[in-house]
Amino acid sequence: MRANDAVLSLGVLASGSGTNLEAILGATRSGTIRARVAVVVCNVADAKALDRAREAGVPAVLVSHKAYGSREQFDAAVVEVLRAHGVECVVLAGFMRIVTSVLLSAFPLRVVNVHPSLLPAFPGVAAQAQALAYGARVSGCTVHFVDAGMDTGPIIAQEPVPVLASDDEPTLRARILAKEHELLPRVLGWIADGRVEVTPASDGGRARVVVSDAP
Amino acid sequence: MRANDAVLSLGVLASGSGTNLEAILGATRSGTIRARVAVVVCNVADAKALDRAREAGVPAVLVSHKAYGSREQFDAAVVEVLRAHGVECVVLAGFMRIVTSVLLSAFPLRVVNVHPSLLPAFPGVAAQAQALAYGARVSGCTVHFVDAGMDTGPIIAQEPVPVLASDDEPTLRARILAKEHELLPRVLGWIADGRVEVTPASDGGRARVVVSDAP
């Protein structure tokens, strides 16, 4: 549980346009969630997320993955930035790098990812295209804690969206993304309020997330 | 496309309590769908589905799988019963037997199954327990044409249901089943109206189902 008056310091990692970052910034600004974005880290210089952070008056740091010899060295540099800004919870918001144990052990069960499918369906890249190729009629998005696997970490929340006969990859992507923009800030609000607890895996099972009721 | 005034003859295969059969019977009786249940086949003598069929005045046939030396021989006996009753479309409604090519080739892309998850998540047995063990927050049901794989056939329709923190296997099963009772008759109505077409698989892809708009 977190102290009742604390504001959760988020570090947002992004590689792209940063629309999920924008949704998080909106929720922190409006006071919908008791959190603030302490720093935004991008691995590519032209990520629009960097501009969005600067416009919002949030420290925006470029850590180019090309400057590091290994994923672990890159992650160590990212961890250093996150720690320097007092980050308590890391959000992967369209971050197109596989994170290593260097990041995960620095923020155990405090790295949150949003994935554009209802896991365990359609893990990995191009989840929307996978759903269309499969002929799924329902897809959605998943917010989960990151573990060492690919999209295998304990699930915090999921929301469904319909897949329409007229959909192509961009239309399905947009529908799922709109749902991500609602779900991700909502989950971060739960974490900020100390309502999210993880029960460790037992006898071969999965770690489970328990979200307690709002006080 | 089917003739505009035809009534689709259904053969329903069931092993258990037959609540999906009841939902189908209700939809045929009320005229919601242009179909009739021509025969109900069960593989176990004490299946409540047999009683429901008799009460509805529908031929109820027991074909005990114990009386046959192989799955193929059992399926051949079932096909004989279905053909004798003029069945055009076969519905697996809680039918706890794996069907073989004997049944599938007799009714190509006219064997419909309902599965209690959003496929491809949680295929096979105990889908509700699988969803709970995984920590899924959304599950649902899938109506699909049966092919030679295990829950791999082309999807006709899916509906999501929430998985609640308070759920156990019976409560989740009941919530999904209630959705099955809506979705399965609706899909059979589409088939009866000639609105469901299957596009064969091409270059390694999956066969796809196209549901045309209501006239």
pLDDT in tens, chain A (215 residues): 455 568 999 999 999 889 999 999 999 999 999 999 999 999 999 999 999 999 999 999 999 999 999 999 999 999 999 999 999 999 999 898 889 999 999 999 899 999 999 999 999 999 999 999 999 999 999 999 998 877 789 999 999 999 999 999 999 999 999 999 999 999 999 999 999 999 877 766 788 899 998 87
Q: Which of B118, B134, B135 shows the shortest C-beta gap to A138?
A: B118
ipTM field: 0.89
Q: Residue B206, class by beta-carbon neighbours within 10 Å (0-12 exposed, 13-18 middle, 19+ buried)? A: middle
Smallest Cβ distance to A121: which of B118, B159, B208?
A: B118
Which residues of chain A neighbour B133 with C-beta distances below 8 Å?
Answer: 205-206
Inspect the interface and report whether the beta carbons of B210 and A165 lie closer than 8 Å.
yes
Size of interface A-B (CB pairs under 8 A): 71
The residue written with tokens 């990812």 in the block is A113
Instruction: Report CB contact under 8 Å: B138, A154.
Output: no
**DSSP strands (E only) in B149-207:** 155-162, 196-199
Comparing C-alpha atoms, which of A119, A122, A160 is closest to residue A140? A160
How far apart CA B23 and CA A187 sit, in angstroms, is: 38
The answer to whether residue B121 neighbours chain A at the CB level (below 8 Å) is yes
Q: Establish if A174 touches chain B: CB-CB under 8 angstroms.
A: no
Q: Does B134 touch chain A (CB under 8 A)?
A: yes
* Mutate: best of B114, B137, B139, B212, partner A, most A CBs <10 A: B137
Selecting from A118, A135, A137 the residue whose C-beta is nearest the C-beta of B138 gives A118
Q: What is the spatial distance between Cα A4 and Cα A202, in angstroms, rounded to a whole number?
A: 31
Residue contact A205–B133, C-beta within 8 A: yes
* Cα angle: B186, vertex B2, B50; to 5 degrees: 50
Using the structure block, give the residue that is written with the tokens 């069929």. B53
Per the CB < 8 Å rule, is B135 touching A206?
Answer: yes
Q: Which of residues 19-38 of B touch A (CB under 8 A)?
A: none
- Is B135 close to A160, i.e. CB distance below 8 A? no
Q: Do B118 and A118 touch (CB under 8 A)?
A: yes
- For chain B, say whether A185 makes contact (Cβ under 8 Å): no
The shortest CB-CB distance from A208 to any of B135, B154, B211 is to B135
CA separation for the pair A115, A140 (Å, rounded): 9
Q: Are the CB atoms for B132 and B168 separated by under 8 Å? A: yes
The distance of A153 to chain B (nearest Cα, Å) reads: 10
* Chain-chain contact of B206 with A137 (C-beta, under 8 angstroms): no
- The pLDDT of residue A84 is 98
Query: Prior bond to A215 cis, omega within 30?
Result: no
pLDDT digits (tens, 9 = 90+) for A23-49: 999 999 999 999 999 999 999 999 999
Among candidate residues B85, B115, B144, B181, the one labeled active-site is: B115
In sequence order, the 6+-apart residues with CB closer than 8 A to the CB of B108 are: none
Instruction: Give the distance from residue B142's alpha carbon to the nearest chain A alpha carbon, in angstroms.
Output: 9
Q: What is the model's pLDDT at position B4? A: 56
Catalytic entry in A65, A85, A115, A144? A115
Suggest the residue from A114, A115, A137 to mutate for an interface test with chain B (most B CBs closer than 10 A). A137
Global pTM exceeds 0.80:
yes
- Can B115 be counted among the known catalytic residues? yes
Nearest-neighbour CA in chain A from B130: distance (Å): 11
CB of A204 within 8 Å of a chain B CB? The answer is no
Q: How far is B160 from chain A (nearest CA, A)?
A: 7
DSSP B3: -
pLDDT by residue for chain B (215 residues), tens only, comes to 455 568 999 999 999 889 999 999 999 999 999 999 999 999 999 999 999 999 999 999 999 999 999 999 999 999 999 999 999 999 999 898 889 999 999 999 899 999 999 999 999 999 999 999 999 999 999 999 998 877 789 999 999 999 999 999 999 999 999 999 999 999 999 999 999 999 877 766 788 899 998 87
The closest CB to that of A137, out of B134, B157, B207, belongs to B157
